[in-house]
């Protein structure tokens, strides 16, 4: 059953009776008002036993383990799993997180989940409208060179609830269409004009900002990207090198930077073919409202995230020496 935002105990009781969880709404309501934990019940989907006593139904609803289809996507997360070069740790991608959140217990005691492969297949569907892809992104998404990555960036970071009984395609449509609404609430379909970017390119740029900096520097990094695109000057961002490799590392090798991919901004002009992650709303707004500045270069010089910005390439080289001296650019490859 689903608890909707703003549902009262009375409304939940009615839903419980309609779903045959309890015999009557009044019985559930009377049990609910006696359980203080009812105030902590969050909107979302819950897996409950049917035809149970009202008190047991309330206990089931307030049990966190009853919650299903709850998904949290952190800022900068990619669709596919990635590996940290230095630690070897795997960071679960969005498809993996969706798969895990979709699991429901079966009568045999096993878990039934939408698989990652089902999500990848559904996410590669060329029927973009069926996936909920907004009009402002459709033309660019249609030309993405790797269909398994066509939804990159189109599932926004944040908390989500979906019905785990749905198919992979239905779940993705829920998330993509909901994300489009989130992005559009920032004015993404209009704000790009101020920085000379289409809405989709603005989303791509925001994903770079997310992966290249801490929130305090979002605005400056956004301005560097906008300035370089206008120059024009290659972006040369290490995050775009890592993306095609499905790895993460602050440093990159000469060989990897030389590889020509649809995302590697060392080996291509302009923006990558797609976003390289799911940006936060803060990163999107940073590009929409990029502050005035003439910066063309930036480098992070320590593990605290201290980042230096400059217009001068000579000064940038001096800043880069500080980064090298700190060891932050040492490669694990």
Residue 326: band (very low, low, confident or very high) from pLDDT cuts 50, 70, 90: confident
- Is residue 332 included in any domain, yes or no? no
How confident is the model at residue 331, as a pLDDT?
Answer: 62
Instruction: Choose among 118, 153, 172, 96: nearest CA to 275.
Output: 153
- Is residue 333 included in any domain, yes or no? no
- Is residue 331 included in any domain, yes or no? no
What tokens were used for 209?
């900002």
Number of independent structural domains in the chain: 3
**Does pLDDT of 283 surpass 80?**
yes
What tokens were used for 145?
């060179």
Do residues 246 and 83 lie in contact, with contact meaning Cβ atoms separated by under 8 Å?
yes
Asked whether residue 81 falls in the same domain as residue 146, the answer is yes
Contacts of 218 (CB under 8 A, 6+ apart): 209, 210, 282, 283, 286
What tokens were used for 60?
């089931």
- Is residue 173 included in any domain, yes or no? yes
- Is residue 8 included in any domain, yes or no? yes
Last residue of a domain, one of 168, 185, 202: 185
Asked whether residue 223 falls in the same domain as residue 264, the answer is yes
Return the CATH number at 28.
3.30.1490
Asked whether residue 321 falls in the same domain as residue 196, the answer is yes
Instruction: Say which residue, 13 or 194, is predicted with more confidence.
Output: 13
pLDDT in tens, 55-65: 999 999 999 99
Asked whether residue 118 falls in the same domain as residue 176, the answer is yes
> What average pLDDT does range 17-41 have in this prediction?
94
- Terminal Cα distance for the chain, rounded: 48
pLDDT in tens, 291-312: 999 999 999 999 888 999 999 9
Asked whether residue 36 falls in the same domain as residue 137, the answer is no
Over the chain, what is the mean pLDDT? 94
**Does pLDDT of 240 surpass 60?**
yes
Last residue of a domain, one of 136, 152, 185: 185
Asked whether residue 210 falls in the same domain as residue 307, the answer is yes
Contacts of 137 (CB under 8 A, 6+ apart): 154, 180, 199, 200, 203
pLDDT in tens, 162-218: 999 999 999 999 999 999 999 999 999 887 678 999 999 999 999 999 999 999 999
How confident is the model at residue 136, as a pLDDT?
Answer: 97
- Is residue 56 included in any domain, yes or no? yes
How confident is the model at residue 246, as a pLDDT?
Answer: 86
Residues in the chain: 333
Asked whether residue 202 falls in the same domain as residue 160, the answer is no
Asked whether residue 96 falls in the same domain as residue 60, the answer is no
Domain containing 80 equals: 71-185
Category of 305 on φ-ψ map: left (φ > 0), alpha (ψ -120 to 50) or beta:
left
Instruction: Choose among 136, 184, 197: nearest CA to 156.
Output: 184
Asked whether residue 85 falls in the same domain as residue 146, the answer is yes
What tokens were used for 141?
């998404």
């Amino acid at each position: 059953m689903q608890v909707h935002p703003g549902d009262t105990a009375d409304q939940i009781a009615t839903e419980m009776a309609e779903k045959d969880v309890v015999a009557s709404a009044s019985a559930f309501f009377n049990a609910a008002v006696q359980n203080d934990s009812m105030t902590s019940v969050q909107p979302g989907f819950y897996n409950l036993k049917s035809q149970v006593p009202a008190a047991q139904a309330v206990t089931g609803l307030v049990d966190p383990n009853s919650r299903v289809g709850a998904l949290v996507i952190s800022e900068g997360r990619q669709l596919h799993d990635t590996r940290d070069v230095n630690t070897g740790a795997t960071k679960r991608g969005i498809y993996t997180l969706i798969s895990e959140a979709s699991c429901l217990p079966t009568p045999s005691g096993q878990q039934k989940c939408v698989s990652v492969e089902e999500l990848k297949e559904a996410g590669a569907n060329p029927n973009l409208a069926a996936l909920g892809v907004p009009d402002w992104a459709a033309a660019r998404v249609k030309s993405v060179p790797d269909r398994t990555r066509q939804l990159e960036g189109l599932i926004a970071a944040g908390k989500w609830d979906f019905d785990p009984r749905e198919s992979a395609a239905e779940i993705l449509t829920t998330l993509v269409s909901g994300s489009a609404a989130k992005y559009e609430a920032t004015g993404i379909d209009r704000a790009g004009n101020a920085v000379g970017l289409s809405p989709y390119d603005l989303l791509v740029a925001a994903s770079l900002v997310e992966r290249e900096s801490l929130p305090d520097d979002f605005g400056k990094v956004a301005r560097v990207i906008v300035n370089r695109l206008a120059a024009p000057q290659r972006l040369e961002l290490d995050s775009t090198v890592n993306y095609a490799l499905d790895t993460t590392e602050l440093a990159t090798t000469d060989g990897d930077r030389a590889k020509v991919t649809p995302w590697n901004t060392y080996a291509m002009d302009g923006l990558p073919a797609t976003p390289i992650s799911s940006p936060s709303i803060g990163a999107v707004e940073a590009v929409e409202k990029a502050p005035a500045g003439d910066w063309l270069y930036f480098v992070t010089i320590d593990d605290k995230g201290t980042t230096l910005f400059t217009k001068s390439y000579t000064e940038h080289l001096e800043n880069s020496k500080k980064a090298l001296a700190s060891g932050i650019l040492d490669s694990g490859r």
